[in-house]
Amino acid sequence: MTNKISIIILSLFLILCNASVIGQIDSFLINYNVTHYNLSIGLDLAKKSFYGNVEITADFLQPTNEFTLHASNVTLTIDSILFSENKLVFQHNSDLLTIQLASILHPSSSIKLKIFYHGISDFTGNYDGGGIYFASPDRAATISEPSFARNWWPCKDVPSDKATATISITVPDSLTAVSNGLLKNIERHDGKATFHWSTEYPMSTYLLSFAVARYNESSEEYTGSGGKTMKIYYYVFPEDTGKAKIDFQNIAKIMEYFRQTFGEYPFVNEKLGFAEIEGDMTMENQTICSIQKNFFTGDRQYELTFAHEIAHHWFGNMLTPQDWHHTWLNEGFATYAEALYLEHRRGPEVYQQYINSMMAMDNGTYAGSVIGKSDTAFWDSFSPAQSYKGAIVLHMLRRMLGDSTFFSCLSNYVTSPNLRYRNVTTEDFIDVCEKISGQNLRWFFNQWVYASADSVDRPVLEYEWSSSEGTSQKEITVSIEQKTAGKILYRLPLTVSLTTMNSIINFNVIDSVAVQSFKFPVNNQPDTVEIDKENRIFKIIQKKK
């Protein structure tokens, strides 16, 4: 099982690493908030080109006579921009579209302007790019995380600006186009079909998507809290329909488990959907997950991947990071949700095996802080530290707080009216955990999430033990040295287990200095002394020779 879990972890790691650079957050972005995108796009799949327009509604926060958006200079050509039927002057360079407004707009002012554009795409569906992937004359799909929405439509391409959206996709009449939210209607004329989709929930640009193919469509009904029903839709290539039927058979069960654990599915008024796509582009697009073709195997091999993408609807889609420094709030939480689902389905031993497989990575694999140091360097915010060490952090927090308190923290984090459908930071999660637990947890997050060292991602411990005769009992002395204390000194709640012929005696200690000794009175000489044998703490530990 461990080898299989490691393969799944590796595959998820590759899925999540779908870009090489994260777009810079520019100062102009604080001038306004987008409230709605009305996007129309038409595809010429044979020529790998597209044309479209987007009507953007925004509220201004500061006085300005400019309106600047992200728009790739490589893939997009801006044709014209209209405001109240008047053409506006604009500049398009360095992937920025700067629009000159007729007058200065002041805070509380709103604007609605329409941008007409066309474009081409040479995106090949690999991990290090994004935009529209034209896989064949009858298959295309998008991926936009972290900052590739700008490759196929002008937008404010940062996670901190969430807006509602409508999107209309025009394709040949033989194809189906699926997107976020609900399908409102389909218009057919002159051999073309336009699919009109709309979402009432706010969404970051990296989560807006479409997928186009000759799909076989099926659905099942999900029943949520209070009897509320919703459709789960499956859009699958015809050749994979049989395999998909097997692979998707537990989706409703995953949804029910996550509902019980995290609260109601956040987008229950719309849908949950899955669209098969070509390329290495599996992604948790809001209400319509993209699942790459090679994940349809007919033996549920990638069921944890499906669980991961579903979990993102709570962690990432509803609670969206303020910026990419806080990616672990997406990826660490969704990866930990895999472990929780494994525990629910197969028991605590398999859960622990999954955690152990992440802990077993070589020392330094997760080096650097879980909080990304740079919002522009991909590997600082989408590295194994965010996904796997982030999940390990949640495991340690659970073991330290206990199940009741830990799951109450998760529930309150998800259901907080101040956070739902908004942007969050690590501090928001810490605040909830401290409030619910009644504990100061700053030390925990400082050492496991914020602390950074180039070569250290966990403490390396060396221990020895000895016994001596007391007046009425034996005294066991256990000495622990933190070999990595020169770089990071950890505070470690540890359980020391003394095993005798007749029993196992557990003692709870706090190891918080470079070298520390603990003394334990026992009636019988122990045969073995073990430290944290249940792997509650992320560490490397060895007995002193």
Q: Does residue 121 form part of some domain?
A: yes
**Domain-ending residue, one of 389, 422, 450:** 450
Write the CATH number for 167.
2.60.40.1730
φ and ψ of 365, to 5 deg? -55, -35
More reliable by pLDDT, 1 or 294: 294
How large is the angle between the packed helices 2-16 and 348-359, nearest 10 degrees?
A: 60
Q: Does residue 316 form part of some domain?
A: no
SS3 per-residue string spanning 229-291: EEEEEEEECHHHHHHHHHHCCCHHHHHHHHHHHHCCCCCCCCEEEEEEECCCCCECCCCEEEE
Q: What local confidence, expressed as pLDDT, does residue 24 receive? A: 45
Interval 381-399 mean pLDDT:
95
Q: Are the C-beta atoms of residues 167 and 41 closer than 8 Å to each other? A: yes
Is the domain of 221 the same as that of 268?
yes
Is the domain of 442 the same as that of 502?
no
Q: Does residue 317 form part of some domain?
A: no
Is the domain of 354 the same as that of 490?
no
Interval 411-421 mean pLDDT:
98
Q: What local confidence, expressed as pLDDT, does residue 174 receive? A: 98
Is the domain of 383 the same as that of 471?
no
Is the domain of 111 the same as that of 65?
yes
Write the CATH number for 499.
2.60.40.1840
Q: Does residue 498 form part of some domain?
A: yes
φ and ψ of 64, to 5 deg? -165, 155
Is the domain of 141 the same as that of 253?
yes
Per-position DSSP letters for 406-435, written without gaps between them: HHHHHHHHHH-TTTTTSEE-HHHHHHHHHH
How large is the angle between the packed helices 328-346 and 251-262, nearest 10 degrees?
A: 110
φ and ψ of 505, to 5 deg? -110, 125
Is the domain of 139 the same as that of 224?
yes
The model's pTM is 0.94
Band of pLDDT at residue 12, cut at 50, 70 and 90: very low
The contacts of residue 187 (CB under 8 Å, 6+ apart) are 193, 194, 196
Q: Does residue 318 form part of some domain?
A: no
**Domain-ending residue, one of 259, 280, 311:** 311
More reliable by pLDDT, 81 or 454: 81
Helix/strand/coil percent split, the chain, to 5: 30, 40, 35
Give the percent of the chain with pLDDT over 90.
Answer: 86
Q: For residue 386, what is the DSSP state?
A: I
Spatial CA neighbour of 534 closest among 514, 502, 513, 504: 504
pLDDT digits (tens, 9 = 90+) for 18-50: 333 344 446 677 899 999 999 999 999 999 999
Length of the chain in terms of residues written: 545
Q: Does residue 455 form part of some domain?
A: no
Is the domain of 353 the same as that of 469?
no
Q: Which amino acid is at 367?
A: A
Per-position DSSP letters for 425-480, written without gaps between them: -HHHHHHHHHHHH-S--HHHHIIIII---SS-SS-EEEEEEEEEE-SSSEEEEEEE
Band of pLDDT at residue 378, cut at 50, 70 and 90: low
Q: Does residue 495 form part of some domain?
A: yes
Band of pLDDT at residue 167, cut at 50, 70 and 90: very high
Is the domain of 111 the same as that of 196?
yes
Distance of CA 283 to the CA centre of its chain: 9
Round to whole Å and give the CA distance between 36 and 15.
Answer: 29
pLDDT digits (tens, 9 = 90+) for 302-331: 999 999 999 999 999 999 999 999 999 999
Round to whole Å and give the CA distance between 353 and 346.
Answer: 11
Interval 134-154 mean pLDDT:
97
pLDDT value at 6 more than 50: no
Band of pLDDT at residue 377, cut at 50, 70 and 90: low
**Domain-ending residue, one of 311, 342, 370:** 311
* Number of structural domains found in the chain: 3
Is the domain of 9 the same as that of 39?
no
Per-position DSSP letters for 13-55, written without gaps between them: HHHH---SBPPPPPGGGGGEEEEEEEEEEEEETTTTEEEEEEE
Q: What six digits make up the tokens of 309?
A: 């993408």
pLDDT digits (tens, 9 = 90+) for 170-191: 999 999 999 999 999 999 999 9
Q: Does residue 319 form part of some domain?
A: no
SS3 (DSSP) at 504: strand
Write the CATH number for 402.
1.10.390.10
| 146 upstream amide cis, omega within 30 of 0 | yes
Chain mean pLDDT for the chain = 93
Is the domain of 503 the same as that of 417?
no
Residue with tokens 């989408």: 382
pLDDT digits (tens, 9 = 90+) for 455-483: 789 999 999 999 998 667 889 999 999 99
Is the domain of 99 the same as that of 210?
yes
Domain that holds residue 472: 460-543
